């Protein structure tokens, strides 16, 4: 077969250029540490690499979200713990306040201390996170959620907004607890109604519970219960509703539940003829108001030690206990959410580790193999170049 000089030159040049290209590619892999730099290097592997990188980027964003949520919830959980301690300390002092042997000076000192604690409690409820956002104000993070009004009552300026953060695909988690849910909407320990006692009360009794037992027959509104001597050693009961209608119940057994208009009332203790108590609809008890009312009650020793004062004290103390239960529930919720965040973060970290390992297998070059391949290509390039030089130098005149 006859091979022309031009054909031989082109074939040899192409071979040299091919070996040079292969050598440069391997040098590039060794330099970058990557065997797949573009989709052209390995199309199927490039698609897999792109998917893995997207998953890792997404996991990194979720981890960032989780870190921010963890910071907010950690402040919330810690603050609720401090609030629980303050409320418990106030409760202990309130129990001291019913000691009849306290002097007026001692009682005043005790109530002054309680008011300082109440101010401390409000300050804790207005705690802000590291970004300057109020943690208990819902969506209105730029407001101070709790403040005293001109009447000495606490007003809530936040809202009921719960901020959700994505911590995984199609999964969100609340990153805040609203102030109304842990301070303002404390379940009334009595049930659906609260009691107001007459200062002239003589019997040692209180309302243990007042609950709607039959919503179909219940008529909401104010009810006044008046105990009357029936002349035979027992008590009758006149119940006056908000329309002024009086219903008499004869020979009532005050140790048993009293039901009228779908409202069931359970007394604790023994009333006497002439005692009255007024019930008003109230399913929630503001924790701050309960504490403030208790302090006001304790300021007058005679008031708290009277039958009506003792009954009011019991009601307020039960509502404070209910408030403590709600605080504990809120703190437990924050703790559970923090645990959920930790677990979600661990999953994303594991995902990143797996993806990193898979990426390494797909795109990282084996340096030892690459160097060996480089030496082979270099050897081939040198051989082709040398052969081309020798063949190119051959001339017919050398044999003449």
| Averaged confidence pLDDT in the chain | 84
Mean per-residue pLDDT for 158-177?
93
DSSP string, 104-138: HHHHHHHHHHHHHHHHHHHHHHT-B-TTS-BTTST
Percentage of the chain lying above the pLDDT 70 cut: 76
Q: Does residue 28 register a pLDDT over 70?
A: no
Q: Does residue 10 register a pLDDT over 70?
A: no
Residue scoring higher pLDDT (352 or 257): 257
The per-residue pLDDT for range 307-354, each reduced to its tens digit, is 999 999 999 999 999 999 999 999 999 999 999 999 999 999 998 888
Q: Does residue 216 register a pLDDT over 80?
A: yes
User: What order of strands is seen across the sheet that includes strand 193-197?
Assistant: 193-197, 276-281, 223-229, 235-240, 246-249
Mean per-residue pLDDT for 19-29?
54
Q: Does residue 206 register a pLDDT over 90?
A: yes
Please choose, from the candidates 304, 96, 68, 252, the residue with its C-alpha nearest in 3D space to the C-alpha of residue 173: 68
Tell me what pLDDT residue 375 has. Answer: 54
Q: pLDDT grade, residue 21 (50/70/90)?
A: low
Q: Does residue 372 register a pLDDT over 70?
A: no
Residue scoring higher pLDDT (358 or 9): 358
Q: Does residue 13 register a pLDDT over 80?
A: no
Backbone CA torsion sign across 164, 167, 173, 178: negative
Q: Does residue 371 register a pLDDT over 80?
A: no
Q: pLDDT grade, residue 300 (50/70/90)?
A: confident
Mean per-residue pLDDT for 12-35?
53
Q: Exposed e or buried b for every residue in 147-159, given b needs 16+ CB within 10 A?
A: eeeeeeebebebe
- In this prediction the pTM is 0.79
Tell me what pLDDT residue 66 has. Answer: 96
Distances (CA, A) of 8 to 3, 11, 142, 338: 7, 5, 82, 75
Helix (H) or strand (E) holding 393: helix 367-393
The per-residue pLDDT for range 81-131, each reduced to its tens digit, is 999 999 999 999 999 988 877 888 888 999 999 999 999 999 999 999 988
């Amino acid at each position: 077969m006859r091979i022309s000089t031009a054909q031989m030159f082109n074939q040899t040049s192409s071979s040299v250029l091919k070996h040079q290209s292969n050598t440069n590619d391997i040098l590039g892999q060794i330099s970058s540490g990557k065997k797949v730099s573009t989709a052209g290097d390995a199309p199927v592997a490039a698609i897999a690499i792109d998917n893995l990188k997207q998953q890792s980027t997404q996991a990194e964003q979720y981890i960032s979200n989780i870190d921010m949520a963890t910071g907010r919830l950690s402040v919330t959980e810690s603050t609720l713990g401090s609030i629980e301690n303050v409320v418990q300390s106030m409760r202990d002092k309130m129990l001291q306040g019913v000691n009849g042997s306290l002097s007026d000076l001692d009682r005043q000192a005790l109530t002054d201390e309680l008011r300082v604690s109440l101010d401390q409690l409000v300050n804790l409820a207005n705690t802000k996170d590291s970004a300057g956002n109020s943690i208990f104000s819902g969506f209105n993070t730029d407001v101070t959620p709790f403040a005293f009004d001109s009447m000495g009552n606490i007003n809530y300026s936040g809202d009921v907004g719960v901020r959700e953060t994505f911590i995984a695909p199609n999964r969100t988690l609340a990153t805040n607890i609203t102030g109304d849910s842990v301070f303002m909407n404390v379940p009334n320990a009595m049930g659906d109604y609260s009691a107001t006692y007459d200062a002239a009360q003589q019997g040692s009794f209180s309302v243990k519970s007042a609950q709607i037992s039959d919503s179909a027959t219940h008529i909401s509104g104010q009810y006044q219960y008046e105990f009357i001597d029936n002349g035979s050693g027992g008590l009758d009961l006149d119940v006056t509703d908000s329309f002024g209608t009086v219903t008499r119940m004869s020979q009532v057994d005050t140790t048993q539940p009293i039901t009228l208009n779908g409202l069931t009332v359970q007394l604790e203790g023994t009333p006497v003829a002439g005692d009255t108590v007024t019930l008003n609809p109230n399913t929630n008890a503001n924790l701050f108001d309960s504490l403030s009312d208790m302090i006001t009650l304790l300021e007058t020793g005679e008031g708290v030690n009277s039958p009506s004062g003792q009954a009011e004290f019991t009601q307020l103390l039960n509502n404070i206990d209910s408030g403590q239960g709600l605080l504990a529930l809120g703190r437990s919720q924050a703790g559970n959410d923090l645990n959920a965040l930790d677990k979600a973060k661990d999953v994303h970290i594991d995902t990143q580790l797996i993806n990193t390992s898979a990426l390494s297998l797909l795109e990282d070059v084996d340096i030892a193999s690459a160097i060996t391949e480089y030496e082979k290509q270099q050897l081939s390039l040198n051989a082709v170049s040398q052969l081309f030089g020798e063949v190119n130098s051959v001339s017919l005149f050398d044999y003449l």
